[in-house]
Structure 1
Amino acid sequence: MKTAVSIPDDLFKTAEKTAKRLGIPRSQLFAKALEEFIQLHSKESVTERLNKIYLKEKGSLEENISNLSVEFLRKSLKNDSW
């Protein structure tokens, strides 16, 4: 699909040089750059969502471990005479 975008002159010149150096058309360079940008942000979104899930689970996990530790101590000291 053809589209028109406005970019700073310096960025355009750098893109021209990069495309020539890589031996690819400028439009292919722009398409690849956009694809990588979208993938990067998609991965960040997934990572961000996973971090939120693990952050919530971390509190629950620490609480569960603490509860298990107390329960274990109670059981292990049950027959202990003080």
Structure 2
Amino acid sequence: MKTAISLPDDLFLAAERQAKRTRKTRGQLYAETLAEYLARHTSDEVTEAMNQVVERLGEPRPDPLLAAAARRTFEHTEW
């Protein structure tokens, strides 16, 4: 898909230099850059969704048998 965007001159020139250095077309550089940006920020959305689920579920109550077993394990583990 073709699209037109406006960039500040200094950003455009820096992108042109990077495209030449890496032997990529301007379109390839912009597409890869945007894909990387979206990948980085998608994880923020996942974290936020998980946080919302945890908030809705409330504070978990530990299983007394599991807590006792963990305590015994720690007591017998050499640190």
TM-score normalised to the size of structure 2?
Answer: 0.67
Moved more, 47-56 or 16-25: 47-56
CA offset digits 1:19-63 (Å, max 9, x no partner)? 11111111100011111112222111011111232344462x1xx
1:24 match: secondary structure:
coil
Identity %: 41
Aligned to 2:8: 8
Distance 1:15 1:33 in 2: 10
Shift in Å at residue 12 of structure 1? 0.3
Distance in 2 of aligned mates of 1:19 and 1:58: 49
Residue in 1 that maps onto 2:41: 41
Aligned residues: 66
RMSD between superposed Cα atoms in Å: 2.4
| Aligned counterpart, 1:72 | none
For structure 2, the residue ranges without an aligned partner over 5 or more in a row are 65-79
Q: Which runs of 5+ in 1 are unaligned?
A: 69-82
Point out the structure with max Rg over C-alpha. Answer: 1
- CA–CA distance in 1 between the matches of 2:35 and 2:8? 20
Instruction: Give the TM-score taking structure 1 as reference length.
Output: 0.65
Bigger helix share:
1
